[in-house]
DNA sequence: CTTCATATTTAGAATAGTTCTTATTCCTTG
DNA sequence: CAAGGAATAAGAACTATTCTAAATATGAAG
């Protein structure tokens, strides 16, 4: 189990590595993402942060999420044109979008899978990232 | 080479299979997509359709594109939160988004690649579709 | 052919999610 | 303690898209 202070120290470290400050808002938002990893939207994060920090604004939530994405502590995930969702899972993984429930599941990828997929690229296509999105029906209990 | 009448007959067939009518607007929009396969946005399609049909409205372009997607004649493609792009390539393929130019390239997939990727899914995850998106630098001439 | 019912198109209003602007507050450093 | 930059907050603005409502086209039935 990762303690609260561990993760906020990790956060502070990453932020200062990027020349940014650690702030109460950034800490609350990162902790919200770590606490419930269900790929919340910015509005979801806003709602979850408010009880802990009633004066926080939606603009700040967007700013902080963007900052966390820039620091590579969080991934932004998009399905079609729905609201962006945020994911603190840094391991290489794909996303499964359950069309019945709207839920998003992480699909861990075996090592080498991403390279295997990149191998389909013709010569001189140089990919900095590969994203895999599944859509369908997920098991009820997952 | 696919003749204009061939493709508009194929379109008429697909539409009537879905209980829909073939209309001049739908034909123009489909032909615009076939003519230049650079993954245009709805606005791009609107601009390209106008010379042939000056009275066409943007709402109709959206309506027709949606119809073509429903009929499985066209794929809608999204990158982050940019405008939706439209692709008439029906073969299984991935997309490569060139971050320098903004261009989108089709990446043909060897047969079996999608099944290979689906094989990473844990039991009881039933995917109806798999989408693969690359991001990076494409060769200048492609 | 007409008539009628319905599908489609159109123009513009409305919407959702996000970004921008500006003023204020908060730190950090000298 | 200043000064200066960084960050936040509130609300306006923006973009792509969808919705609404009225007009038009189409096609089946008589
Ligand atoms: Mn997506
Ligand atoms: Mn996308
Ligand atoms: Zn995830
Ligand atoms: Zn394509």
Report the share of chain A in percent with pLDDT over 90. 91
* Separation in Å, CA of B5 to nearest CA in chain A: 32
Residue closest to B105 by CA, chosen among B138, B72, B73, B141: B138
- Tell me the per-residue pLDDT of A44-103, one tens digit each, with 9 for 90 and over: 999 999 999 999 999 999 999 999 999 999 999 999 999 999 999 999 999 999 999 999
DSSP-based three-state secondary structure for A129:
strand
Inter-residue contact B28 to B49 (CB < 8 Å)? yes
For chain B, 142 residues long, give each residue's pLDDT as a single digit of tens.
Answer: 555 667 888 899 999 988 899 999 999 999 999 999 999 999 999 999 999 999 999 999 999 999 999 999 999 999 999 999 999 999 999 999 999 999 999 999 999 999 999 999 999 999 999 999 999 999 987 5
Q: Chain A: residue nearest B85 by CA?
A: A80
Question: For A2 and C5, how far is CA from C1' in angstroms?
Answer: 66
Residue with tokens 């066409």: B56
- CA B14 to ligand 1 centroid distance, Å: 26
Partner-chain contact B133 A137, CB within 8 Å: no
Domains and CATH numbers, chain B: 4-85 (1.10.10.10), 91-136 (3.30.1490)
* pTM for this predicted structure: 0.93
DSSP per-residue letters across A71-108: TTSSEEE--TTSPPEEE---SSEEEEEETTT--EEEEE
Inter-residue contact B90 to B73 (CB < 8 Å)? yes
Number of A/B CB contacts below 8 angstroms equals 117
* Separation in Å, CA of A102 to nearest CA in chain B: 14
Looking at residue B73, the DSSP 8-state letter turns out to be S
- Examine the pLDDT at A37 and tell me if it is beyond 60: yes
Of all nucleotides, the one whose C1′ comes closest to residue B21's CA is: C7
Count of positions (residues) in chain B: 142
> From CA B43, how far away is CA A94, in angstroms rounded?
31
């Amino acid at each position: 189990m990762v303690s609260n202070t561990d993760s906020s120290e990790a956060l502070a470290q990453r932020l200062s590595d990027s020349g940014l400050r650690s702030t109460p808002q950034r800490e609350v938002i990162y902790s919200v993402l770590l606490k419930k990893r269900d790929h919340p939207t910015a509005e979801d994060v806003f709602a979850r942060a408010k009880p802990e920090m009633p004066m926080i604004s939606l603009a700040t939530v967007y700013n902080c999420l963007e900052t966390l994405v820039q620091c590579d502590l969080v991934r932004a995930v998009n399905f079609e044109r729905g609201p962006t969702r945020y994911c603190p899972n840094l391991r290489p993984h794909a996303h499964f979008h359950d069309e019945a429930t709207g839920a998003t599941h992480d699909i861990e990828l075996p090592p080498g899978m991403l390279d295997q997929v990149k191998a389909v690229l013709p010569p001189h296509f140089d990919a900095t990232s590969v994203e895999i999105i599944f859509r369908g029906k997920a098991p009820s209990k997952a």
